[in-house]
C-alpha cells in the first residue's frame, strides 16, 4: 500500500509538534513528506527506539512505486526513477530523465577529450536556469578490455559527470569498472547470454546495472527477479529501442506496459527504464536523418517514461529540443515557475532610467528581461509577486493590483520620488486597466507600455523620457 496524503502520514508521526524538523507542526511536516521536500530522517523523535516500528512502516509506505536508482557520486550524482504516477498532472515526476551522450574507445585520445569537454561544457540558459547534460556513456567498439579501460580512465580524468560503461562483454566491463569503481558507474548491459557474469560484477563492485531484453518483456522481468534475488535492486530496464516503423510503436507500447505494471504494484518490474535513441544512427545512413530521428525518439520517450537515455548527436539543433522538452515535462505542474519578487536592474540604470513593471512568472520575467537587455535598454524592472502568474492572469485574478505595486515599492525600499527624476512607472499593456489604480495607490505617474515586450524599443522612442518629467 502507498500513502498519498499528509493525514495518512501524520498517523505514524510522534505528534509532538516539537519543531526540530523546522516545521511548526507534525501535520506540516507530513505534507512535506508527501511532496518529498523533507525526509523522514528530519524528524528526530521518530528515530528513537520506541518509534522504530512506526519509522519502518512509514518508510515502506512512503517509498515510491518505481524504485529510485542513483548513478555517480558527490554533487553530480544522478537519480532516476522514483515516480508514483503515470501522468504528471496527478502529482509530478520527481527525477528528470538523465541524458548521456556517447564517446567510444576507438577514438583518438585528443578527439575523445574534445568530445567529453563538449558534452560537459554544453549549457543553455532557459527561464532562470541552465539546461545541462547529465552523463557520459563510454562505448566499447574495440571489444578490447585494455583499450576500453584506457578510454574510460581518460574520460574519468576529464569529467566528473557520472558514467555509463557500455559493452556486452563481461571482461570489458570489468576492465572499465577497475578504473572507475569509486565513481558508481552504470554498467550496460546484462542480457540472456551474459547475465551470470555481469551479475557477479554487479555484486562485486556494488554498481547499478542495465538489463537488456529487446522486445521480450517476460525475459526482462525474469532477469530483474533473478538480480533482485541475488541481492541487488540497482536495476535499470532496457526493453529495446527501435527507432522506426512498427517496431517503434512496439517499443512505445513496451515502455507503457512496464511503467503501468510498476505503478500498479508489480514490484518485480518497478524499475527505471532506459531508452536508447542512439539506435537511430544504426537505422539511418544520412547523419541529418539520423540526428532528426534520434531527437524524435528521445522526445517521445521523455514524455513516456524513458528515465535515462543514451544519445549520440551533439549538434545544438539536436540537443536543444531534447533538453527543452525534458525541462517542460519535468517542471512541477503543481506550482508556477517563478523568480524572486524584487526590483532588478537591467544594464546600468540611472535616476533618469525607466521603471517597468512585470510579474514574477519566470517565463514572463525572462522574456521581458531578455528583450530589454538585447536592446541595451538600461532600466529598473520590477517583478511583482503574483504567485507566479503571468500579467493577464494576475490582473484578472486580482494578484496584480495597485495595492500590490505599492507594497512592492515599500518592500524594496525604492523611493520613486527620490531615486528617479521622473516619478513614473511603466505598466505592461496587458495591465492597462490598472493605470488609474496604480496612480492613486503610489502617487506616481503611470504610463502604459506595449502588450508585447518585443515592442518596448519602439515604444521607448516615442514615449521616453515622459513629457511630465
304 with 405, same domain: the answer is no
Of 255, 196, 208, nearest in space to 235 by CA = 208
Supply the range of the domain harboring residue 38.
6-62
Residues 6 or more apart in contact with residue 148 via CB below 8 angstroms: 105, 138, 140, 142, 165, 167, 172, 175, 176
Domain co-membership, 366 together with 431 = yes
Residue 309 located in a structural domain:
yes
Give the residue from 258, 278, 267 showing the smallest Cα distance to 215: 258
Given the DSSP bridges, would you call strands 379-384 and 342-346 parallel, antiparallel or unpaired? antiparallel
The CATH code of the domain that includes 254 is: 3.20.20.20
Q: Which residue has the cell 533618469?
A: 352
Judge if 307 and 428 occupy the same domain: no
The predicted-structure confidence for 96-107, as pLDDT tens digits, reads as follows 999 999 999 999
pLDDT tens digits, residue range 74-114?
999 999 999 988 888 877 888 999 999 999 999 999 999 99
Distance (Å, rounded) from C-alpha 230 to C-alpha 200? Answer: 9
Q: pLDDT per residue over 327-371, tens digit each?
A: 989 988 777 788 999 999 999 999 999 999 999 999 899 999 999
**pLDDT-wise least confident of 67-76, 87-96, 154-163, 234-243:** 87-96
User: Domain check: are 290 and 356 in the same one?
Assistant: no
pLDDT band per the 50, 70, 90 thresholds, residue 120: very high
Cα(396)–Cα(390) distance, integer angstroms:
10
List 191's β-bridge partners, or say none: none
Q: Is the previous residue joined to 290 through a cis bond, with omega within 30 degrees of 0? A: no
78 and 55 belong to one structural domain: no
- Assess contact for 163 and 184: CB atoms under 8 A: no
pLDDT higher than threshold 60 for residue 469? no
Whether 328 contacts 357, CB under 8 Å: no
Q: Summarize the confidence of residues 223-250 as an average pLDDT.
A: 96
Quick check: 1 pLDDT over 70?
A: no
Asked if 405 and 298 sit in the same domain, the reply is: no
**What is the number of domains present in the chain?**
3
Helix H or strand E encompassing 193: none
pLDDT one-digit tens code per residue, 367-392: 999 999 999 999 999 999 998 999 99
CA distance 109 to 245: 37
Please indicate, yes or no, whether residues 286 and 303 belong to a single structural domain of this protein: yes
Same domain, yes or no: 288 and 324? yes
236 touches 209 (CB < 8 A): yes
Judge if 212 and 280 occupy the same domain. yes
Q: Which residues contact 292 (CB under 8 A, 6 or more apart)?
A: 318
425-449 pLDDT, tens per residue? 999 999 999 999 999 999 999 999 9
- For residue 1, tell me if it sits in a domain: no
Q: Is residue 335 part of a domain?
A: no
Mean pLDDT of 65-69: 95
Instruction: Based on the fold, state whether residues 94 and 228 are members of the same structural domain.
Output: yes
12-54 residue pLDDT tens: 999 899 998 999 899 999 988 888 888 999 999 998 888 888 8
Residue at a domain's end among 46, 62, 78: 62
Is the same domain home to 166 and 141?
yes
Grid-cell match 519535468, residue found? 330
Entry pTM: 0.83
- Calculate the CA dihedral of residues 302, 308, 310, 312 and round it to 10 degrees: 50
What phi, psi does 4 have (nearest 5°)? -135, 10
Q: Domain ends where: 62, 90, 105? A: 62
Q: What is the DSSP string of 212-274?
A: E-TT-HHHHHHHHHHHHHHT---EEEE-----SHHHHHHHHHHHHHHHHHHHTT-GGG-S-BE
Residues 201 and 322 reside in one and the same domain: yes
75 located within any domain: yes
Amino acid at each position: 500500500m502507498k500513502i498519498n496524503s499528509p493525514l495518512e502520514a501524520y498517523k505514524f508521526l510522534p505528534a509532538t509538534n516539537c519543531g526540530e524538523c523546522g516545521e511548526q507542526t507534525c501535520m506540516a511536516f507530513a505534507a512535506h513528506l508527501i511532496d518529498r521536500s523533507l525526509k523522514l530522517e528530519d524528524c528526530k523523535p521518530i528515530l528513537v527506539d520506541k518509534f522504530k516500528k512506526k519509522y519502518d512502516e512509514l518508510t515502506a509506505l512512503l517509498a515510491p512505486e518505481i524504485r529510485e536508482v542513483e548513478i555517480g557520486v558527490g554533487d553530480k550524482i544522478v537519480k532516476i526513477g522514483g515516480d508514483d504516477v503515470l501522468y504528471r498532472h496527478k502529482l509530478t515526476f520527481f527525477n528528470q530523465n538523465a541524458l548521456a551522450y556517447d564517446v567510444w574507445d576507438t577514438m583518438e585520445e585528443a578527439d575523445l577529450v574534445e568530445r567529453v569537454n563538449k558534452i560537459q561544457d554544453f549549457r543553455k540558459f532557459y527561464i532562470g536556469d541552465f539546461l545541462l547534460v547529465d552523463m557520459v556513456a563510454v562505448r566499447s567498439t574495440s571489444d578490447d578490455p585494455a583499450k576500453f579501460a584506457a578510454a574510460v580512465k581518460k574520460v574519468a580524468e576529464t569529467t566528473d559527470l557520472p558514467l555509463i560503461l557500455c559493452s556486452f562483454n563481461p571482461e570489458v566491463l570489468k576492465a572499465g569498472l577497475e578504473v572507475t569503481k569509486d565513481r558508481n558507474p552504470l554498467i550496460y548491459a546484462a542480457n540472456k547470454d551474459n547475465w551470470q557474469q555481469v551479475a557477479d560484477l554487479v555484486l562485486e563492485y556494488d554498481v547499478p546495472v542495465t538489463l537488456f531484453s529487446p522486445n521480450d518483456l517476460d525475459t526482462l522481468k525474469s532477469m530483474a527477479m533473478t538480480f533482485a534475488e541475488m541481492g541487488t535492486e540497482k536495476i535499470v530496464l532496457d526493453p529495446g529501442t527501435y527507432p522506426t516503423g512498427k517496431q517503434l510503436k512496439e517499443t512505445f507500447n513496451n515502455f507503457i506496459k512496464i511503467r503501468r505494471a510498476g505503478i500498479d504494484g508489480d514490484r518485480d518490474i518497478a524499475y527505471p527504464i532506459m531508452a536508447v535513441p542512439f539506435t537511430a544512427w544504426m537505422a539511418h545512413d544520412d547523419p541529418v536523418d539520423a540526428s532528426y530521428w534520434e531527437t524524435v525518439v528521445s522526445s517521445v520517450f521523455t514524455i513516456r517514461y524513458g528515465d535515462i537515455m543514451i544519445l549520440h548527436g551533439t549538434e545544438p539543433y539536436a540537443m536543444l529540443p531534447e533538453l527543452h522538452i525534458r525541462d517542460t515535462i519535468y517542471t512541477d505542474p503543481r506550482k508556477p515557475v517563478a523568480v524572486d519578487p524584487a526590483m532588478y536592474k537591467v544594464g546600468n540604470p540611472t535616476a533618469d532610467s525607466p521603471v517597468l513593471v512585470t510579474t514574477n512568472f519566470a517565463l514572463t520575467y525572462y522574456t521581458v528581461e531578455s528583450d530589454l537587455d538585447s536592446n541595451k535598454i538600461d532600466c529598473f524592472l520590477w517583478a511583482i509577486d503574483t504567485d507566479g502568474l503571468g500579467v493577464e492572469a494576475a490582473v484578472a485574478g486580482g494578484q496584480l493590483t495597485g495595492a500590490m505595486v505599492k507594497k512592492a515599492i515599500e518592500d524594496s525600499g525604492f523611493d520613486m520620488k527620490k531615486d528617479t527624476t521622473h516619478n513614473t512607472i511603466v505598466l505592461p499593456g496587458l495591465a492597462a486597466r490598472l493605470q488609474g489604480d496604480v496612480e492613486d495607490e503610489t502617487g506616481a505617474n503611470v504610463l502604459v507600455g506595449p502588450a508585447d515586450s518585443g515592442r518596448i524599443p519602439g515604444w521607448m522612442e516615442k514615449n521616453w523620457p515622459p513629457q511630465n518629467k
